[in-house]
Amino acid sequence: MLDRGQKNPSLIDKLQKILARNSFAFRRRVARLGFRYRRDRYFRKRHPVLWLTPSQLLEMDLEHYEAETDAHSLSLTTLERLRTYRDAIEEKMKRARQISLLMFAALVSNYFAIDSDLSFAFGIQAKFAGFREVFLVALSFIGVFIAILENNVYTLNSYMKFIIGRLPEEVRQMHIAAHFFSENMSRYTPVNLPRISQTPINSNLSLIPFLFGLFLLLTALLIYGGMYFLIARDIWQNGNLESWSKVSVAVAVTNAVLGIIYVVTTRAPLPYRDFRKLDDIEFMKAVAPSQLEKLLNEMNSDIIADFNRMVEKGYMKADEDLYGKL
């Protein structure tokens, strides 16, 4: 029989082995998690995210466009045709805005108990019972309709600006003034007079109307949004159609939120993953297949070196899939 002195060293050795094995397993797990993070970081570095507006995305796409016939070329003739389409859409937007402004004016006058006698198409008067609920819902749908029309105008304008951007620099301002007169608020900037430069007062003075116009626009939006909220709350609390009044407010608010989301998604920059480096791989595969492996090693040199270090430390196996699940 072994005495106590003989058992203790054996037990300690076993505990040390267990701790060492568990310690290595823990370090291996942490190291593999770190490698996965670094691998994803290498991927994001090689294929970065680009924040692009629809206009920027369209411009990048058209850079690769080659017209097969003159009828589909991005020429001045196409520019004039696009302007015709845009002006037709803007005319519809103008009528829709007029109707929405009349409805909004009727709602505001009713909210402040101002006697008004507004009439609309087909002899409709803003006097019938429940007209506030009907007008509020109609306003929300008209707003969404206008947002859709504005998106189409925005797309056509992007095409037109791309065509103008390819023209000689001397005539670009002329076409901007002709086709985008509502946006052309700055003074003429000379192109062929490099020694005639603006003084600081010119740039400072041109900034004043821009800031003032921006202030007026933001103020108008805040007033409109505030009144819309107050009217919707009043209809919710004091509607003439009981539960239907609340339903109309819910529909109007839902449409307003969806409309704002639609405007953001069709105007604001959104993330796109840039995989254009894959074009180099496809090109090399078609032109020089023997050099493809060299190109891939160069593109993935950082992650391959990291993988080799993990193998040396025993955290990964040499035949393990570099891009597999860790």
pLDDT at position 324, please? 63
pLDDT at position 48, please? 92
pLDDT at position 115, please? 59
pLDDT at position 2, please? 46
Domain ranges within the chain, ordered by starting residue: 75-183+202-269, 280-326
Best CA proximity match to 154, nearest among 261, 58, 72, 67:
58
pLDDT at position 128, please? 65
pLDDT at position 14, please? 64
Pairing of strands 270-273, 49-52: antiparallel
Q: For every one of its 326 residues, what pLDDT tens digit does the chain have, with 9 covering 90 and above? A: 445 444 455 666 666 666 666 777 888 888 888 888 888 888 888 889 999 999 999 999 999 898 888 778 889 999 999 999 999 999 999 999 999 998 898 888 888 876 555 555 444 555 666 788 999 999 999 999 999 999 999 999 999 999 999 999 889 989 999 999 888 777 788 888 888 877 777 777 778 888 888 899 999 999 999 999 999 999 999 888 888 999 999 999 999 999 999 999 999 999 999 998 888 888 888 888 888 788 888 888 888 888 888 888 888 888 777 666 65
pLDDT at position 59, please? 94
